[in-house]
Amino acid sequence: MPPVQGPPLTASLQLATGRPPRLSLSQDTLSALLEQVQEQGALNLSITSLMGSSSPLQGQVTDSSSLTMSALFPLIPQLSRVLPGSLPLELRVRVSNEPVVTVRDGRATVTLKATIDFISPALQSPQGLLFSLDVDIVLNITPSVSDGKLQTSLALDSINLTRFPPSLDAASASSLTEWLKKVLTAIYVPSLKDAFQVSVPLPNVLNTSLRNAEVDITDVDEFSSQSTLPRSCSGGASMLFPF
């Protein structure tokens, strides 16, 4: 990502001797990296096409890779009675709150509290909004060191619907959740991976090179010293199906 003007990112690092050396990252460090990405708007995405999607979505789009209303018909059958399947469909993922990082047993996850708007410009509703969902998107975080630089990769763990239109029954909500998980895996997570190509150069500590260090994560801020790493790296609208 382009360099960002601002103060340096202060991170707690613990270096353990051995071959190769081991680098421990604090929960606060991962939170700071994620907050930088959110401030740049990289956690928000408009999904209008399944082009380039991986196997989870193959066979679910008939004529082209563009999203259309027909993709929702098997999930919400009542839509097929009121809307043509040819209408274009757009999914807007909006993350407004700060990402919440959780560390347990050396495994880190981040929860993105997101609103996903289902939109079609042709709809006779403000902003073409069909309906909205609130979801918790849970991602696994895997830090690593490559060529002396700290890097972070993400993978989708789960999504949980926290708010959806009352017109959706339990079966439709469950089917929509599974479909969304495939869309996010194929489109949203790869977009985040591009945003997280953050390579933070690591300092030399006591003349010890961290070029091939192993990385683990701790949820306890037990470090006695800190090293400074250079920084590199809504609601309210009316809808067709209101809550």
Residue 6: left (phi > 0), alpha (psi -120 to 50), or beta? left
**Percent of the chain scored above 90 by pLDDT?**
28
In a domain, 234, yes or no: no
Residue 228 confidence (pLDDT): 42
What total of structural domains would you count in the chain?
Answer: 1
Residue 105's pLDDT is what? 82
CA torsion 44-235-129-139 (nearest 10°) is 30
Q: Is residue 147 part of a domain?
A: yes
Signed CA dihedral, 43, 48, 50, 52: sign only: negative
d(Cα 94, Cα 115) in Å, to the nearest integer?
A: 5
| Contact (Cβ atoms closer than 8 angstroms) between residue 14 and residue 64 | no
Is residue 237 a part of any domain in this protein?
no
pTM for the predicted model, two decimal places:
0.76
pLDDT at 55: 38
Domain contains 138: yes
Range of the domain at 152: 11-229
5 occurs within a structural domain:
no
Residue 45's pLDDT band (cuts 50, 70, 90):
very high
Q: Is residue 2 situated within a structural domain?
A: no
Residue 55 lies in a domain: yes
CATH number at 46 reads 3.15.20.10
Q: What is the pLDDT of residue 3?
A: 43
Euclidean distance between the first and final Cα of the chain, in Å? Answer: 38
The predicted model gives 200-216 an average pLDDT of 68
